Structure 1
Amino acid sequence: MSSIIVAFPKIEDAKAIKNLLVRNGYDVAAPCITGAQVINLADSLSDGIIVCGYKLADMVYSELYEYKPKSFEMLLVATKSLWDNCVNNDVMCLAMPIKVHDLLSTIEMMQQAQIRKRRKMRSQPRKRDEEEQKIVDEAKRILMELNNMSEPEAHRYIQKCSMDSGNSFVESASMVIAIYM
């Protein structure tokens, strides 16, 4: 579950929202009153949601949006008249005064979106760098020449060795090179 950072210009407001979220089962990292605190805290966390007011002690929400890590989503709590500025970016908006149900359902929706994004990132294959790709290509070439395998057969052989041994694909390709050379 992603962490939540609450940031409002008054510490009492930030603590009240933090307590509300904690009572409803959410993990809140800390209440903050400055954008610098939010950025420092966000840098130490992997991902999450920043719930903030329009203006903090040292910056407005748009500056915070620019400086925050890309893995964090932002929920702006402000009057509807201030929403015009956040239409073109990825900032979610919630009207003041806050309704508990609206806040909780919006946070839940944002967390579900982050979970889907994480799953999508995990399902994509990891990109190999040039050096790793050279090792894999060399292992396939050796298997194709010495064992008369096709390229897909050599790939499947390395893949099976990798799965059987519990090593990475590149480590198994390195072992093939070491054995045959």
Structure 2
Amino acid sequence: MDARGVFIVCSKPEMIKELRALMLKQGCSSVEYALSANEARRKLDFFEPGLILVNAPLQDELGIQLIIDIADKTDAGIIVLSRHEHLTEMQYSLEKVGALVLPKPISRTILIQTARFASQSRKSIKGLKLQNDDLEKRIQDRKIIEKAKWILVDKMNMSEPQAHRYIQKRAMDLRVPQIKVAEDILNNF
């Protein structure tokens, strides 16, 4: 499981004790808990878990709004244990945030497998997000370089290949990335 630990949100201290023991037995480095949604929101400002387990309903809310509130702020896997009467509502409301909703009662084996799956899935999603962010930055840099190239074509009467080569050569001569040369061109014209 995730080395960052587990965060349990549950209104029943005896269930927290069981879940905590189970997660520690699975090799989790730490297990924190909260007895209410409000307490969970406060604690998550200071603790970045790898997995969040929510036993719904909570004493101060059903748990849907808590999960929606925290899903954007964390890359932790989120598992919600729900009563059958709330299961459909929970699944429908939380599918867009990627929380896994399981019906209660749940076996230990299924909970452990789901916890591993949730942690690994969120890691994969985080990796894809980092790749996506990198690609977006590279696209933005390419747009700036192209803009600078066309300024050279327009203002300096260079051909497109000459402008492209000018930016490449200048970057090599100055030992800076092409984006830096392109930004300098844009700032000077």
2:129 pairs with 1:121: yes
1:56–1:133 CA distance, 2 compared to 1 (3 A)? same
Could you tell me which amino acid in structure 2 is paired with residue 86 of structure 1? Answer: M
1:15: how far off? 3.2
Q: 1:133: how far off?
A: 8.0
SS at match of 1:68: helix
Q: Which stretches in structure 1 are left out of the alignment for 5+ residues?
A: none
Structure 1 residues 79 and 135, CA, compared in 2 at 3 Å: closer, same or farther? closer
**Matches for 1:32-51 after TM superposition, within 5 Å:** 32-44=34-46, 48-51=50-53
Partner of 2:149: 140
CA drift at 1:120: 1.4
Q: Distance in 2 between matches of 1:92 and 1:80?
A: 14
Q: Is the 8 A contact 1:10 1:33 kept in 2?
A: yes
The share of aligned pairs that are identical, in percent, is 15
Structure 1 residue 139, shift from structure 2 partner? 4.0
Instruction: Name the Cα RMSD after superposition.
Output: 3.9
Q: How many residues align?
A: 175
Letter in 2 for 1:78: S
The verdict on how the C-alpha distance between 1:116 and 1:172 changes in structure 2, with shifts beyond 3 A counting, is: farther
CA contact (8 A) 2:83 2:104 kept: yes
Matched, 1:80 2:84: yes
| Between 67-76 and 13-22, the greater mean CA deviation after superposition | 67-76
Give me the whole-angstrom Cα distance separating, in 1, the residues matched to 2:163 and 2:108.
56
Gaps of 5+ in 2: none
Letter in 2 for 1:76: V
Residue 92 of structure 2 aligns to a residue in which SS? coil
* CA 1:142–1:36: 2 relative to 1, 3 Å: same
Please name the residue that 2:10 is paired with.
8
Q: Which moved more, 1:72-81 or 1:17-26?
A: 72-81
